[in-house]
Amino acid sequence: MKTVLRVLLLLVVAAIPSSVLAQATPSAGRPFLNPMFTDNMVLQRGQSVPVWGWTTPGASVTVSVAGKSATATAGTDGEWTAKLPPLPIGGPYTLTVSGPQTVALNNVLVGDVWVCSGQSNMEFGVGNLLNPNEEIAAADYPQIRLFKVNKPKMSDPQTAQTMLSPQATVSGTSAWEVCTPDNLRTDGDWGGFTAVGYFFGRDLYQDLHVPIGLIHTSWGGTPAQAWTSAQALQKMPDFRPRVAQMEAVREAGGPGTSESLAQRTTAWYRQNDPGSTSGLGWADPAMEDSAWKTMTLPGYFQQAGDPELAHINGVVWFRRTFDVPADAAGKDMVLHFLADDNDTTWVNGTRVGATEGANRPRAYTLAASLLKPTGNVIAIRVLDTGGNGGIYGDPASLALMVADGPTVPLAGPWRYKLGVDLAKTTPLPVQVNLDQNSPTVLYNGMVNPLIPFGIKGAIWYQGESNAGQAYQYRTLLPTMIGDWRGRWREGRFPFLIVQLAGFTDPPAQPGDDPSGWAELREAQWLTAKNTPNTGIATAIDIGDPKDIHPKNKQEVGRRLALVAWAQVYHEKVEDYGPVYRSMTVEGNAIRLRFDHTGGGLVTQGGGPPAGFAVAGSDRKWAWADARIDGDTVVVSSPQVPRPVAVRYAWAAGPLGNLAGRDGLPMFPFRTDNWPGVTVNNK
């Protein structure tokens, strides 16, 4: 009886048409049509339009829309891609996909599609504006369409593990929506669809009168390396070890390890760093260090003027001696300093502390029993994994302190020696805690699934999470842009950057920004200047010192649209505010010249120009008096009789108030190019 039933079942299956079987199982669970393609979508005008999905290997699929069609054959992996010829602008059209399945998509438009990506200031929704109700009520634009990429659930270990590999489709269910007040308000996280993206798209539509599609893919607090593929990051020495570690985790099937990170790190130092190979090594107070070089601390070792360290990421050792003041005898002392990235610290051969991560103040207690009246030896091993590194900060931050007692300053000359260059070591052990900040994961889960959907270009608002590694960002951001362009295979599509807005109160000291935001803005500017078909809009003047998420996103979107009109659509509009061009020393003053003045220089809100600092060859900065003279600015300070360099708006929250007559603000800049400082913004 069982045999008869089995035969009957086989006969029934054989009678089912092959198209129905293919519909039930297109290709390893992947959809017949990629979920990027839904009702209400916008397809890119003026170029070949790829449409793709998965089905039975060898099956033929035909795509038709607006009188155009294309046919594809599924490969051995089941994937098919049909490339439509350029389509007529407008719509609405119906797109039909026929083959083993038939799908019809309605209300399809043809226009320009822009990807909107970055961290929280791009994710910032329209519901968080100062006037959200007014803006949302007016958001009735049937020709603008919105697509929100869902965030993968990185808190789920299984999902996080899959993000180690490029994904074929976006997480969850997403669909294109018509821009209406309700859809703009509710779509996405954090108060609605991206405000910057919406205002950019709205302003483009109002000028171009062609359909606009906006693909929103962003995640607050994430660094640029999370949005870059593993293959691209492997070309950067700073990231090669971490990418190798993540690749090992992917191949192993999970982040677990039989050894603790501390054990693996200790073994790595023993294997790679000559100062750590045996015993106390270079932490031994009896070791002879008179042949070591000397540098002044605090200060990044790449900027110390030593060519050996100028481009190093790796291990550098520092040593110096100190005496205990008589009125501190018999008391515990606390060693204070800042290190970038990681330190391990010994005093008189005893390890007193270790900390991972920059921007974490060190405070290590030195027991009175550990100290001698004279000749105490401090040894600090610093590991820098990217960008600038060393013992940095204000001179007062490097000191020994006694409760209710004296302070022993430690700023000044320290002996130092290079341990090892990371480029010459085995991969550095890392704790692979997979989250949205991990390198490559957001590229894998929130960018790769979009490729090769036809786009006009991308807008990018990100950088706050990379401000501590601004010099690294000079390479990282262009690497990411090139990565995206290479994978989309649409040539050097436009990529427009938002330069970080002002944040925190203006500095008391001129010409300095310990937070790194000024250098990050410079890295963004250099990327736009040196990377073809890349533009930038500054938000320096519309920040909020108390809020890292300033609410005037309307102006950010408008400025991005100005850059697009000028550089992408080739309209005759001024897209940039004043840009520093050159300087001339004139006695005790410096004359600065600019491009993009918009017909002349003005100050925002009236009053004299603010935000300029000058320095002489001693590198000591002083606030400058400034005056506008035609299209130039003349700066000077009685504290600097022989100025050689100028900085403008050089702080996280700067004082600058210069603009062109069209109202666009002057871009921050610096003219100094001293040893260890690479400046190329002229």
- Third-level CATH fold of 266-424: Jelly Rolls (2.60.120)
Burial code of 289-300, b = ≥16 C-beta within 10 A, e = fewer? beebeebebbbb
Tokens representing residue 526 in the block: 């250099």
Nearest to 546 by CA among 470, 652, 638: 652
Give the whole-angstrom CA distance, residue 305 versus residue 676: 6
The beta strands (E) that lie in 66-132 are given as 68-73, 79-84, 90-98, 102-118
Alpha helices, DSSP H, located in 85-156 = 120-123, 132-137
What is the percent of the chain with per-residue pLDDT over 90, rounded to a whole number? Answer: 81
In the predicted model, is pLDDT for residue 72 greater than 90?
Answer: yes
For the segment 463-501, what is each residue's pLDDT rounded down to a tens digit? 999 998 999 999 999 999 999 999 999 999 999 999 999
Give the whole-angstrom CA distance, residue 640 versus residue 182: 59
For the segment 327-370, what is each residue's pLDDT rounded down to a tens digit? 999 999 999 999 999 999 999 999 999 998 888 899 999 999 99
Q: How confident is the model at residue 674 (pLDDT cuts 50, 70, 90)?
A: low
The pLDDT of residue 7 is 38
Nearest to 335 by CA among 399, 393, 403: 399
The pLDDT of residue 254 is 62
Tokens representing residue 265 in the block: 């790190």
- The average pLDDT across 543-564 equals 97
The DSSP-derived string for 332-352 is -EEEEEEEESEEEEEETTEEE
Neighbours of 5 (CB within 10 A): 9
Amino acid letter, 167:
Q
Query: Quick check: 227 and 451 in contact, CB under 8 A?
Result: no
Alpha helices, DSSP H, located in 504-659 = 517-530, 553-567
Give the whole-angstrom CA distance, residue 68 versus residue 58: 23
Least confident of 104-118, 188-202, 661-675: 661-675
| Cα 642-645-647 angle, rounded to 5 deg | 130
In the predicted model, is pLDDT for residue 1 greater than 50?
Answer: no
| Cα 97-98-102 angle, rounded to 5 deg | 85
Report CA-CA distances (Å) from 178 to 196, 294, 300, 459.
17, 65, 51, 20
The pLDDT of residue 427 is 80
Give the whole-angstrom CA distance, residue 53 versus residue 105: 14
The pLDDT of residue 253 is 67
Q: How confident is the model at residue 675 (pLDDT cuts 50, 70, 90)?
A: low
The pLDDT of residue 678 is 47
Give the whole-angstrom CA distance, residue 123 versus residue 192: 9
Taking the C-alpha atoms of 461, 464, 468 and 472 in order, what is their torsion angle to the nearest 10 degrees? -10
Q: How confident is the model at residue 260 (pLDDT cuts 50, 70, 90)?
A: low
First to last CA, the chain: 88
Q: How confident is the model at residue 28 (pLDDT cuts 50, 70, 90)?
A: low
For the segment 210-257, what is each residue's pLDDT rounded down to a tens digit? 999 999 999 999 999 999 999 999 999 999 888 987 887 787 666 554
Q: How confident is the model at residue 24 (pLDDT cuts 50, 70, 90)?
A: very low
The number of residues making up the chain comes to: 682
Give the whole-angstrom CA distance, residue 314 versus residue 428: 10
- Third-level CATH fold of 579-670: Thrombin, subunit H (2.40.10)
Q: Is 129 exposed, middle or buried (0-12, 13-18, 19+ CB in 10 A)?
A: buried
Tokens representing residue 662 in the block: 């069209």
For the segment 405-460, what is each residue's pLDDT rounded down to a tens digit? 889 999 999 999 999 999 999 888 766 778 999 999 999 999 999 999 999 999 99
Which pTM was predicted? 0.75
Domain map (residue ranges) of the chain: 1-256+433-575, 266-424, 579-670
What is the percent of the chain with per-residue pLDDT over 70, rounded to a whole number? Answer: 93
The pLDDT of residue 428 is 80
**Three-state secondary structure of 201-237:** HHHHHHHHCCCEEEEEEECCCCCHHHHCCHHHHCCCC
The pLDDT of residue 27 is 56
The residues facing 43 across adjacent strands are 110
- The average pLDDT across 314-318 equals 97
Give the whole-angstrom CA distance, residue 353 versus residue 358: 15
CATH 3.30.56.10: does it fit domain 1-256+433-575?
A: no
Contacting residues for 291 by C-beta, under 8 A, at least 6 apart: none
Query: Quick check: 609 and 627 in contact, CB under 8 A?
Result: yes
Phi, psi torsion values for 567, nearest 5 degrees: -100, -25
Contacting residues for 481 by C-beta, under 8 A, at least 6 apart: 495, 527, 531, 534
Please give the DSSP secondary-structure letter assigned to residue 567: H
At which residue do the structure tokens 């001179």 appear?
Answer: 395
User: Across all residues in the chain, what is the average pLDDT?
Assistant: 91
The pLDDT of residue 287 is 94
Least confident of 24-28, 148-152, 489-493, 670-674: 24-28
For the segment 596-613, what is each residue's pLDDT rounded down to a tens digit? 998 899 999 889 999 999
Q: How confident is the model at residue 263 (pLDDT cuts 50, 70, 90)?
A: confident
Give 477's Cβ-side CA count (13 Å radius).
37
Tokens representing residue 641 in the block: 């009789």
Nearest to 644 by CA among 593, 682, 588: 588
Residue 341: cis peptide before it, omega within 30 degrees of 0: yes
The DSSP-derived string for 264-286 is HHHHHHHHH-GGGSSTTGGG-TT
Q: How far is CA 244 from the centre of its chain?
A: 20
In the predicted model, is pLDDT for residue 179 greater than 80?
Answer: yes
At which residue do the structure tokens 């795509």 appear?
Answer: 63
Burial code of 315-324, b = ≥16 C-beta within 10 A, e = fewer? bbbbbbebeb
